[in-house]
Amino acid sequence: MADVARVAGVSLKTVSRVVNNVPTVDSQLVAKVDAAVAELGFRRNDMARNLRAGGSSATVGLLIEDLANPFYAGIAAAAAQYALDRDTLLITASSEEDVDRERKLLLELCARRVDGLLVVPAADADHVYLRPEIERGTPIVFLDRPPRNLRADTVLIDNAAGARTGIEHLVAEGHTRIGVVADWLSISPMAERLGAAEKALEQAGLPYRPDLITSGVHTVRDATAAVNAMLDGPEPPTAVFALNNRLVLGALSAVRGRAAEVELVGFDDFETAAFVPWPLTVVSYDVREIGRIGAELLFNRIAGDRSRPKTVVVPTELIVRSAG
């Protein structure tokens, strides 16, 4: 503001009064300051002004796992819109499933005095380090995965019901050799999905087939290799259940061009699922609702809600697509 005062030929105090819309400033002085502001391209730092006054920063942070993944993009879009409707800016960052990176980013967002945090936690992360931030008044809501060693609001998917429904569908279709492909089991939703799928296979009376169940598959390329290994085995599966959207894409790559028809079920829907060149049944849910509910819980906390931490579970549904 010193440069504005110099160009306008007024005092720094006068510039401050004009910028902050004090109504008693002489109109000629206002015109001089406005002209200097336009000439210099000065922009008022509303965040700093609000914080000095003990107010809100009008920002919230969102930490997700992968900015390029449509699942996280849907969460971010819904949370950003909810924040925008309340004149708040959403700052988004990605942990890339790295525990140290997650900690660094979250503490940096807290240092920047965001009003609250939405967090999709990295695999194996321990969140006890966030307890002091909550005690200092920064509300935190976890999405998709629960926190470890910390009580906080959480929005989850009904992973067990979704996985059970997927297996039950394949069994009802007459399949007895069902391959299951899972991501890292350190990711809690993945462990939950795989556990429910295996239980559903057992309840259907199907024999345990460790050669048809694989985990620790994190990339599209790895999923393609894993499904190819199953299909090249002596007793290949007639159906494959891939437990997230990346694994679905890998499975599609593996079954494409095979002589034998393989039925696919994927956990996670995506926009182009209905148009892939293979009938793809999916376990679906409203991904934007995860972001919206999480943002609603967070803004309620920012507004003063001091009730016990809540867990909200978003339901799943099976969308059946067939070759016919």
Residue of 154, 145, 149 whose CA lies nearest to 184: 145
Give the pairing type, strands 117-119 and 311-314. Answer: unpaired
pLDDT reported for residue 51:
44
How many of the other CB atoms lie within 10 Å of CB of 169?
Answer: 19
Whether pTM > 0.75 for this model: the answer is yes
d(CA 168, CA 176): 11
CA angle 182, 214, 315 (to 5 degrees): 25
Give the pairing type, strands 317-319 and 311-314. Answer: unpaired
182-191 burial by CB neighbour count: b if 16+ within 10 A, else e? bbeeebbbbb
Report residue 230 as tokens: 């199953």
Look at the block and give the residue holding tokens 């016990």: 308
pLDDT reported for residue 293:
98
Predicted confidence band of residue 173 (pLDDT cuts 50, 70, 90): very high
Query: Where are the domain boundaries for CATH 3.40.50.2300 in the chain?
Result: 59-157+287-315, 159-284
How many of the other CB atoms lie within 10 Å of CB of 54?
Answer: 6
Provide the angle, in degrees to the nearest 10, between the axes of the packed helices 27-40 and 12-19: 90
Cβ-in-10-Å burial (0-12, 13-18, 19+) of 13 comes to exposed
**Residue 324 reports pLDDT greater than 50:** no
Predicted confidence band of residue 20 (pLDDT cuts 50, 70, 90): low
Collapsed DSSP state (helix, strand, coil) of residue 275: helix
User: Over the stretch 254-312, which tens digit does the pLDDT of each residue have?
Assistant: 998 787 889 999 998 876 666 666 778 999 999 999 999 999 999 999 999 999 999 99
d(CA 193, CA 163): 5
Residue of 262, 260, 261, 273 whose CA lies nearest to 181: 262
Report residue 78 as tokens: 């819904």
Average pLDDT over residues 98-116: 93
Q: What percent of the chain is predicted at pLDDT more than 70? A: 90
Class of the domain covering 2-44: mainly alpha
Q: Give the CATH H-level superfamily of domain 59-157+287-315.
A: Response regulator (3.40.50.2300)
Phi first, then psi, for residue 173 (nearest 5°) are -80, 0
Query: Using the 8-state DSSP alphabet, how is residue 117 labeled?
Result: E
d(CA 202, CA 218): 25
pLDDT reported for residue 46:
47
Do residues 267 and 282 lie in contact, with contact meaning Cβ atoms separated by under 8 Å?
Answer: yes
Query: Where are the domain boundaries for CATH 1.10.260.40 in the chain?
Result: 2-44
Average pLDDT over residues 69-83: 94
Residue of 244, 284, 236, 283 whose CA lies nearest to 262: 236
pLDDT reported for residue 223:
97
* CB within 8 Å of 107: residues ≥ 6 apart: 129, 133
Decide which of 3.40.50.300, 2.170.190.11, 3.40.50.720, 3.40.50.2300 is the CATH code for 159-284.
3.40.50.2300
Predicted confidence band of residue 68 (pLDDT cuts 50, 70, 90): confident
**Residue 219 reports pLDDT greater than 60:** yes
What is the per-residue DSSP string for 5-16? HHHHTS-HHHHH
Average pLDDT over residues 53-76: 85
Average pLDDT over residues 208-222: 95
Do residues 171 and 231 lie in contact, with contact meaning Cβ atoms separated by under 8 Å?
Answer: no
Tallying the residues shown for the chain, one arrives at 324
pLDDT reported for residue 11:
85
Which range among 22-31, 145-154, 202-211, 236-245 shows the weakest confidence by mean pLDDT?
Answer: 22-31
On average, the pLDDT of the chain sits at 89
Which range among 37-41, 90-94, 114-118, 185-189 shows the weakest confidence by mean pLDDT?
Answer: 37-41
Look at the block and give the residue holding tokens 């007895």: 176
